[in-house]
Chains A and B, each alone.
Chain A
Amino acid sequence: MGSMIAARDSSSRRKNYTQIILYGILICFLLFIPLFFQSPYVLHLFILTLVYIIAAASMRFIMTSGQIPLAHAAFLGLGAYVSAVLSKHVGLSPWLSLFIAAFVAMGVGIFISFPFARLKAFYYAMVSLFFGVGLLQAIESLGKLTGGLAGITAIPTLFNTASKVPYYYCFLALTLVSLVILYRFEVSRIGWNLKAIDQSYLVSSSVGISEVKYRVLAVAIGCFFVGLAGGMYANYNVTLSPSSFDSSVTLWMIIYVTIGGMNNFSGPIIGTAVLFLIPQYFSGLKQYAPFISAAILFLVIFMFRNGLVCIPGLLMAFYKRKKSTSKSR
C-alpha cells in the first residue's frame, strides 16, 4: 500500500532505481534468448519454465495468506484439460479456450475455498491435497473427453507453425503481464491484508479484515493464473496426461517457492528457473539425474535458509564487512 511504501526507510528509493535497472537488463536478456539459443529443445525448456513460473508465483500468492494449496498442480491440470477439451472437442479458438480455462479454474477455486476456509494450516494443506488427488481422478475418469490414463493428444495449438519462437515471445508476454498483476496485488492493501491474516486471523478480524473473504480472494486469483498457465501448457504441448499434474508436481512447486525464497516476490521466479533448468542440463545422466535435483535442494536449504533471493543480500553484507575490516587495518 502506498503509505506502507512511504513508511519504509529512505534508502529504499535508491534501491528501487537499482532494481529497475536490473529488471530492464533481465528483460532485454530474455528478449534475446531465441537469438542466443537456436536449438528448439533449449527453447522448449525456456517455454516450460515460463509456464511453471506463473504456476509457482500464483502458488506463492496463495501461500502469503497462510494457506498451503496442495491441489495447485491439479488446478494446473484442470486449466490444461479444460482448454484442451474446449479447443479440440468443442472447436473453440485456442486463444479463447485458454482464458475460459483460467476462469473455470478460478470458479472451481472459489467454489471449494468457501467450505475450506473453515480449515486452518495443516488441515487445509491436507484437505487440499486430497481434493487435488480427487480432482485429477475425476479428470481421468472422464475417459471419453480426456482420454483417461493415456491422456489427450492432438490438441489444437496457438500458432500454425513448427517454430517455437512465437510461443516463446507470446508466453514471455503473458508471464510478464501475470507477474505484474500478481505484484500489484501483493504490494497493495490486498496483499498486506493477506499477510495480516497469515500472521493472526484473530487480530486481523478484530480490525475488520474478513478472513473468509480474503482467503477466498487469494485462492481465486491464484487459481486464475494457474488455470491460465495450464491452458498455455495444453495448447503449446499438444499432448496431455494426468501424470504431469499429480501431487508430486505440487510438491515440486512448493520447492520452487521455498528454494527461491518464500518471503520475496521474485522467490518463485528464481527458484523455478534454477530448479527447472539446471537438472535439465544433467538429463544425460538418465536415472541418476534426480540426484542432482536433490543435491541442489540440500545445498540451498542448508546454506541459504531464506532461499536463493537472499544471496545478493548476503554477498552485500560480506562485501561491506570485508571493506570495514580492511579500513580498520
Chain B
Amino acid sequence: MAESTILLIVATIVNALVLSSMYILLALGFTFLFNIMGILNFAHGVIYMIGAYICFYMATVVGINQWLALLISVAVVGLFGIFMERFIFRPFFGNINSIIVVCIGLITVLVNAVAISQPYNVQVTPAFVQGILKVGIVSLSWQRIVFFLIGVSLLILVLLFINKTKQGLQMRAVAQDLEGAILQGINVHFVSALACVIACALAATAGSLMGSYLSLTPYMGNDIMIKVLEILVLGGIGSINGVLFAGLIVGTLDAVLPIWLSGTATQAIMMLIIIVILLFKPQGLFGKEVRA
C-alpha cells in the first residue's frame, strides 16, 4: 500500500473519532434535556457556539491560558443553563411548537449579538496542545489525540454519573416517570437544572475544543445542530445507546465522505441514508417500538 494511502487512512480514522466524540457530547446533552424535561432544545447548537466564542475571547483578547479559558467558558455556559431551565424551558414543558418559537428567539438574539460583536467572519482559537506524534511514517498532531481522549473521558464520566450516583438515579427516575418521581420526593426542578447545566457544559466543552480544531463563525451552531438531529433520529430519540452508536456512524461518515464528495453532496447523502434507514425503522435504530 502506498504511503500516502496509509496516511490518509490514519488521518481519516482519527478525524472520525474526534468528530464522533464531539458530536456525541452534544447529542448526549440534547438527549438529557429531552428525557428529563421533554424539551427539544433546538438552541443547543447556539449554546455550543457561545461556548466556543467565550473560550476564544478569553484565550485571545484577555490572553489567559487556553485551558483556563475552557474552564471559564464551561462555567459561564453552565450558569446560563440554569437560567435557561428556569425562564425558558420550564414555562413551556412539553409544548413542541412553543419550544421551537422560544428557541428560534434565543438563536436569533445570540447569533446576531455575536455576529455584530465579531465582525471578522472566520477565526480560530489558538491550539490547546502543540507538537506532533510520530509513529513510523505516520504523524499525528497531539491536539487531535488529546481532544479524542477528552471526549471519551467526559463520556465515561457522564455515563458513570448517570448510572452510579444518587443524582444520576434521580435523573433516570424523572425520565421514566415524572409523577412517580415527584411522589417519591425527588426535587424535579433541581434535577432539571442539573441536567441543563450538564448539557450546556458538555456543549461548551465541545464548542471550545472545536473552535481550535475547525474554526469559529457565528453560524457554526446551525451546522452542528443538523448533525445532532441526525444522530438523534438515527439512534432513536431518548436512547443513550442510540446516541453513542449513531454518533459514531455520523462522525465516521462526516470524516469519510468528504474524501470523494463536495460538502453539500456529503450532507445530501447523509440525509438520504438517514431517511432510508428511518423508513425501515420508524423509531430509529435504538428507539422503543410502540406496541400500541
* A118→B267 contact, CB < 8 A: no
Within 8 A of B (CB), among A108-157: 115-116, 118-120, 122-123, 126-127, 129-131, 133-134, 137-138, 140-141
Measuring CB to CB, which residues of chain A are less than 8 angstroms from any residue of chain B? 68, 115-116, 118-120, 122-123, 126-127, 129-131, 133-134, 137-138, 140-141, 202, 251-252, 254-255, 257-259, 262, 287-288, 290-291, 293-294, 297-298, 301-302, 305
Question: Given known contacts A123-B278, A130-B275, A297-B104, is B116 in contact with A288 (CB within 8 Å)?
Answer: yes
Closest residue of chain A to B273 (Cβ to Cβ) is A130
Instruction: Determine if B275 and A123 form an interchain contact, defined as CB atoms under 8 angstroms apart.
Output: no
Instruction: Report yes or no: B267 in contact with A137, Cβ–Cβ below 8 A.
Output: yes
| B124 partner residues in chain A, CB cutoff 8 A | none
13 further interface pairs, Cβ-Cβ under 8 Å (given A68-B96, A287-B116, A301-B98)? A120-B282, A122-B237, A123-B282, A127-B275, A137-B265, A252-B104, A255-B104, A258-B98, A291-B108, A291-B109, A294-B109, A301-B92, A302-B91
Contacts of B271 in A (CB 8 A): 130-131, 133-134
Nearest CB of B to A82, in Å:
20
Give CA–CA (A301, B89) in the complex, Å: 12
Q: Are A305 and B98 interface neighbours, CB within 8 A?
A: yes
Q: How far is the CA of A131 from the CA of B226 in the complex (A)?
A: 12
CA distance A302 to B101 in the complex (A): 11
Of the listed stretches B11-19, B50-58, B177-185, B227-235, name the one at the interface; the rest are far from the partner chain: B227-235
Q: Shortest distance in angstroms between A226's beta carbon and chain B's nearest beta carbon?
A: 18
Contact A126 B233 (CB under 8 A): yes
Alpha-carbon distance between A99 and B28 when the two chains are bound, in angstroms: 46
The residue on A at minimum CB distance from B237 is A122
CB-contacts of B115-172 with A (<8 A): 115-116
Task: Give bound CA distance, A254 to B42, whole Å.
Answer: 14
The answer to whether the Cβ of B259 comes within 8 Å of any Cβ in the partner chain is: no
Task: Please tell me if the beta carbons of A259 and B101 are within 8 angstroms of each other in the complex.
Answer: yes
Report yes or no: A123 in contact with B268, Cβ–Cβ below 8 A. no
From B116, B229, B265, B268, give the contact of A126 (CB < 8 A). B229
Q: Does B60 contact A (CB under 8 A)?
A: no
The number of chain B residues with a CB under 8 A from chain A is 38
Q: Beyond A251-B104, A294-B109, A302-B91, is A127–B233 a contact (Cβ under 8 Å)?
A: yes
Q: Which chain B residues border A129 with CB–CB below 8 Å? A: 229
Residue of B92, B108, B230, B237 ringed by the most chain A CB atoms within 10 A: B108
Q: Which residues on the A side are within 8 Å of B290 (C-beta)?
A: 120
Cβ B279 vs Cβ A118 within 8 A:
yes
B253 at the interface (CB under 8 A from A): no
> Nearest CB to that of A202 among chain B residues?
B292
Q: Smallest distance from the beta carbon of A129 to chain B beta carbons, Å?
A: 7
Q: In whole angstroms, what is the CA distance A315 to B271 when docked? A: 47
Residues in B with CB closer than 8 Å to A293 are 108
Question: 20 A-B contacts, Cβ less than 8 Å apart?
Answer: A122-B40, A122-B233, A123-B233, A123-B283, A129-B229, A130-B230, A130-B274, A134-B275, A137-B267, A138-B268, A140-B264, A141-B264, A255-B100, A259-B101, A290-B109, A290-B112, A293-B108, A294-B106, A297-B101, A297-B102
